[in-house]
Structure 1
Amino acid sequence: MARISIIGSGTVASIVGKGLRKLRNEVVFFDIDEKRVKPQRL
């Protein structure tokens, strides 16, 4: 398991993050707009 940080929470980052999460990694999103990050917590 790896701890992965993703900067940005747009469409591509969201898909990549979900894929990494399925591979049992810990994924954290960072974005300047906090409203976009909260719904994406995996």
Structure 2
Amino acid sequence: MLAREARLTTGRRTVGPALRLTIAVVTVLLVVVPPVLVLTS
């Protein structure tokens, strides 16, 4: 769902902010997901 919203906003706004947002989301996921997987496993 987030991917669809990101694509819609990318079409309306400039690409710069969208790229920054996606990079921020990816970095947060990379930091948060591994510990969660370790804790849940």
Q: Would the TM-score normalized by the shorter structure come out above 0.5?
A: no
Q: TM-score range by the shorter chain?
A: 0.3 to 0.5
Structure (1 or 2) with the greater strand fraction: 1
TM normalised by structure 2 equals: 0.43
Structure (1 or 2) with the greater helix fraction: 2
Q: Between Structure 1 and Structure 2, whose CA radius of gyration is higher?
A: 2
Higher-RCO chain (CA-CA 8 Å, sequence separation at least 6): 1
